[in-house]
Structure 1
Amino acid sequence: MESTRHIHENMRGSFRWKLYKDMLWKCVTATTIPEYRSAMEELKAFNNKAHSWLCKIPPLHWSRSHFSDRALFDYLMRHIVTVQKVIEKSEGLLTPNATKMLEANKKDAVHNHVQWNGEDRYSVTGRPSEPRVVDLGKKTCACRRWEITGMPCIHAVATIWFKATNGQRVGALESWSI
């Protein structure tokens, strides 16, 4: 998110407080359009001028909520090569950063309740978010973090554990990474 750094640098000229940076980051990291709109409304309520300034920049260029699910081919190929080099030096199936991310997701997944919705779909509720639908067959979640990061999100982890505790074979959690 190279352009995010530029947006923050430009924003710092008029809006210097850490709270603005935190609000900007909340808008940047929102993975769904409703989360993005909520974060923008929070910014607007705090400072309408900052909100108006940020609205002039199309979110397609800087907010995850507006990114396409498909990565650009050249970037993806370079990224694959870089990650492959790190994996070759790593123990286990994942890189150290991916392992850290999965461990954090496992810690947060404990607080979720899973209900089967039929076929490979499950409804996951927990704090503080609204219910999310996980489709294990497609390796997707309504929060979109699984598709964006390639790592099972907290909702997916909770769902995989749910299947395992109900006697279904799920394999290693690391094998669910995209």
Structure 2
Amino acid sequence: MEHEEDNGRGEEDRFDEGALKFGFKVGLKDFLGVDGTFLKGRYPRQVLTDVGLDSNNGIYPVAYAVVEAETTSSWTWFMELLGEDLELGANSNFTFISDRQKGIIPTVAKKQWKGKELSGLVWECGRATTLNHFKYAMDELKKMNDEAHVWLCKIPAETWSKSHFNGRAYTDCLLNNLCEVFNAKIEEGRDKPIITFLEYIREYLMKILCVVQKEIDKCQGELSTTATIILEEIKTQAEKYVAKYNGAGKYQVASTWQDQYVVNLNERSCTCRFWEITCFPCRHVVSAIWNKIENGEDAPDVEDWVHPCYKLSTWRAMYLNKIDLINGRSMWPKSDCPFTLTPPKNHTQVGRPKKKRRRGVDEPNSQTTKLTRKFLAVTCSKCHNKGYNSRTCKGQGGIGEVGSKGKTQGKGKTHARGKTQGKGKGNLGNSVK
């Protein structure tokens, strides 16, 4: 834990568990998601989080900090200390992902660029792994909406499209959902006092290490559970391809629908770039490996071509260290600090305190217990017809109702203008003085 104040950023406290820090280093994935969320208690603060991915593509929290506000200075302080703990130099090949994806879809919505087809084209541009596929998808987007195409071109493609990724992150993750998952797990503790909140996070991290360790003990094989599932699916797709060897360590792999790529096993590359981005051998590579084995050449199994970050041994090493336990407050030693640490200033927020997470424009409101009334037809409580309510009902007819003018409805009441609405019974005409 580190505490700082009077440094132009207000009060800040940073925490990292040594077990998670050491586990992240042996995970071999230089990839982190960064995000911030707010506290709900009496003293409003922001929680900055760094979350990575383990060998099973599960969330792996690395560090978190409680700051007074989510500003550039607080993020700079947080990331500098993170770099010192992870021993990152100026030339480190590290990849960070943030909530930039939340800025694309809302902007499209605000500019009235709506439609599933347009959204699908944007995602196709992001999922494209080659430059040719990326350019084709961008051309299709331009044909549909030139204004949206111009706006999207202003964003560097290196930050959101797989076709421009360099492959050093060992993942093709496009969303920052790993931080959203962690923020959702600690939501119940965000309205508690600061020490109770920090204890809530520590106990959650202790629990997740034990739960994942039990899953690791059940696993058999060379790869993690998720990596095994992904590779088996790739093998199924590779059965539809035919590889042809050119004698120089390269293979031409093609399918019946003109899907043809070049594989170089010596350089561990494929022109589809899936292997380069994810470090998983693609279906073209698997087909080439099978062809090499069928021809009697010495080649490792398909599992041996997967990057070590997805190995079961790496997954086990990440969860080998455990978080130390802490005694209760009555067992805490008294501090010899010469000054008293006072509580932070209480900032009274304007309006009702917010309890729910700020949701993006494109996020569905799936956490509510009430059903939405959108697109539901209104039913009249008098005549039971749809399309209007009882206030605008004109007696169109229905069960137990008489819709014709001049007929009584109840005790002496009629709907016709100028007719009596007294207590007498009968079909009276105009009132007689």
With the shorter chain as reference, the TM-score category is 0.7 to 0.9
Aligned mates of 2:104, 2:229 — CA distance in 1:
28
CA contact (8 A) 1:114 1:125 kept: yes
Q: Deviations over 1:88-131 (max 9, x none)?
A: 55422222222222122112112212111223211111254542
Aligned mates of 2:303, 2:258 — CA distance in 1:
24
* Aligned amino acid, residue 173 of structure 1: V
Q: Deviations over 1:126-164 (max 9, x none)?
A: 254542111111211111100111110010011111112
After the TM superposition, which residues 74-93 of structure 1 pair with which residues of structure 2 at under 5 Å, given as runs?
A: 88-89=216-217, 90-93=219-222
Residues 160 and 12 of structure 1, relative CA distance in 2, 3 Å threshold? farther
Structure with the greater alpha carbon radius of gyration? 2
After the TM superposition, which residues 105-116 of structure 1 pair with which residues of structure 2 at under 5 Å, given as runs?
A: 105-116=234-245
Q: CA deviation at 1:68?
A: 2.0
Q: Deviations over 1:23-67 (max 9, x none)?
A: 111111111111110111111122222222211212121111112
After the TM superposition, which residues 60-139 of structure 1 pair with which residues of structure 2 at under 5 Å, given as runs?
A: 60-71=158-169, 88-89=216-217, 90-128=219-257, 130-139=259-268
CA contact (8 A) 1:4 1:28 kept: no
CA contact (8 A) 1:28 1:62 kept: yes
| Residue 300 of structure 2 is aligned to residue 171 of structure 1 | yes
Using the size of structure 2 for normalisation, the TM-score is 0.36
Match of 2:347 in 1: none
Aligned mates of 1:161, 1:140 — CA distance in 2:
16
Aligned mates of 2:238, 2:220 — CA distance in 1:
24
CA contact (8 A) 2:129 2:162 kept: yes
CA contact (8 A) 2:131 2:163 kept: yes
CA contact (8 A) 2:167 2:278 kept: no
| Residue 141 of structure 2 is aligned to residue 12 of structure 1 | no
Match of 2:142 in 1: 44
CA contact (8 A) 2:263 2:269 kept: yes
CA contact (8 A) 2:118 2:144 kept: no
Using the size of structure 1 for normalisation, the TM-score is 0.81
Residues 153 and 25 of structure 1, relative CA distance in 2, 3 Å threshold? same
Aligned mates of 2:295, 2:107 — CA distance in 1:
52
Residues 119 and 95 of structure 1, relative CA distance in 2, 3 Å threshold? same
Residues 18 and 97 of structure 1, relative CA distance in 2, 3 Å threshold? farther
Q: Deviations over 1:10-30 (max 9, x none)?
A: 323332322222211111111
Alignment coverage as a number of residue pairs: 166
Match of 1:53 in 2: 151
CA contact (8 A) 1:122 1:134 kept: yes
Instruction: Say which SS state the counterpart of residue 246 (structure 2) adopts.
Output: strand
Match of 2:56 in 1: none
Aligned mates of 2:273, 2:233 — CA distance in 1:
17
Match of 2:207 in 1: none
Aligned mates of 2:278, 2:128 — CA distance in 1:
13
Question: CA RMSD, aligned part only?
Answer: 2.4
CA contact (8 A) 2:166 2:277 kept: no
Aligned mates of 1:155, 1:104 — CA distance in 2:
13
Aligned mates of 1:109, 1:158 — CA distance in 2:
5
Aligned mates of 1:161, 1:39 — CA distance in 2:
32
Q: Percent identity?
A: 37
Aligned mates of 2:256, 2:139 — CA distance in 1:
21
Aligned mates of 2:223, 2:258 — CA distance in 1:
27
After the TM superposition, which residues 19-38 of structure 1 pair with which residues of structure 2 at under 5 Å, given as runs?
A: 19-38=117-136
CA contact (8 A) 1:160 1:173 kept: yes
Residues 140 and 45 of structure 1, relative CA distance in 2, 3 Å threshold? same
